[in-house]
Structure 1
Amino acid sequence: MKLSHLISWSVILTFNSGHPLPKMSARLDGFESVNGSFTDFTKMRVRRFNQTHTVLNGTFEVLRNLGETLESGVICDRSAMRSNLLQRTPFKLPFTPFCDHMKTRYRYFQRMYSNYTNMPPVPPEGLCPFPKGSYWIKDLLVNNSMVPRMIPEGFWRCYLMIRDSTIGLITDCVQVFFTLTNELH
């Protein structure tokens, strides 16, 4: 039998054998405020919800209106061995104007966490500037269906940053720690 036939049959048997494809599972491990000129995330915590899930809880302050002169971005580090030897990954969100971020990325995902926070909803025309105030997050669980399968498993640390574009400096930064694993269901 030719090699191409063997590969074809193995693919057909794999998909028709009743064994599902692996699904990514994400578990929050930590949330840490590094610095904050415009925001204060020091009261945010990750807590165990039950034996298998962790959730994000707490309050945070937006100390001034976040608007036109600010940009937001995300960079991530990963360790395949689940140790503290983390390496920078190509997975990132480049710095974009904060108002554009609110109109696109935030607005797209807001339906997932609208029941878990008092943050204002963003209309189609956007919300700029984002109003200063005190906001809460209660029992926010990571939605595993939103984690793409192509992202490798391991221990991850992502920096969520705000940069002041007038001076070019990162003014606010929080670290989010999580573990990604492949699971068969």
Structure 2
Amino acid sequence: MKGILFCVLMSLIFKAYALLPKTYEGRFVSLTFNNTKVLDISQIKLLGRERVLNGTLELKEDLDESVVFAGETFIDSMGDGEYKQLPFTAPKQSICKALAAYWLYFEDSVKYGVNTDFPGHTHPCPIPKGKYYVKDVVIKPDKWPAMMPRGFVKAVGTVFKNDEVIGSAEIVAQITDLA
């Protein structure tokens, strides 16, 4: 009984802490895509001084439970290119479970019908093949953790099918204190 009460209490504390006002902002720095056999994201670019995300992505086939995603994060606080791994990771899991679990962190930045036609908000499974656009996407960290390391944060996501890498993406964002 004490264990259940402790878990519920910790969950409530975490949720309340996540609601604290953010003292930081983020902006895209770079995007790198590799080995895009099933997922063509080569047409997505960062544009302008504001570094907004624009372009199209194409899923060449439906992404079902057999497609697996894993992610890692790294920090370079000094901006010297010396990244150190952070404890924030996404363990290997089906792309459908990953979309359902992590969409919360992107939903303020990528809104269906506003700046994308990708139906991520519905957590479709399988994720339907097709071409999707993103337009003027900026980082909105409202649902990110209240405490975030400052500096250059690199997120590396890898997509597998039958234990073969079918695509990867590396996104670098700069996290700074609010002015």
Question: Same fold judged by TM-score > 0.5?
Answer: yes
Answering whether residue 174 of structure 2 is matched by residue 175 of structure 1, we say: no
**Is the Cα contact below 8 Å between 1:25 and 1:147 reproduced in 2?**
no
Deviations 1:122-158 (A, max 9, x none): 54xx422111111110001110323323221011221
Deviations 1:94-131 (A, max 9, x none): 121112223343377446522110112554xx422111
Which residue is equivalent to 2:126? 129
**Is the Cα contact below 8 Å between 1:62 and 1:131 reproduced in 2?**
yes
Which residue is equivalent to 1:33? 33
Q: CA RMSD in A?
A: 2.2
Aligned identity (percent) is: 22
Structure index of larger Rg:
1
Which residue is equivalent to 1:105? 102
Which residue is equivalent to 2:46? 46
Distance across 1 between alignment mates of 2:98 and 2:129 = 17
Answering whether residue 85 of structure 2 is matched by residue 94 of structure 1, we say: no
**Structure 2: any 5+ residue segments left out of the alignment?**
1-20
Which residue is equivalent to 1:117? 116
Distance across 1 between alignment mates of 2:74 and 2:99 = 24
Distance across 2 between alignment mates of 1:28 and 1:98 = 23
Provide the secondary structure at the position in 1 that maps to 2:166. Answer: strand
Which residue is equivalent to 1:60? 57
Task: Detail structure 1 runs of 4+ shifted over 3 Å in the superposition.
Answer: 107-112
**Structure 1: any 5+ residue segments left out of the alignment?**
1-20
Distance across 1 between alignment mates of 2:87 and 2:105 = 22
Decide whether aligned partners of structure 1 residues 103 and 169 sit closer, same or farther in structure 2, where only a CA change above 3 A counts.
same
Provide the secondary structure at the position in 2 that maps to 1:145. Answer: helix
- Say how many residue pairs are matched: 157
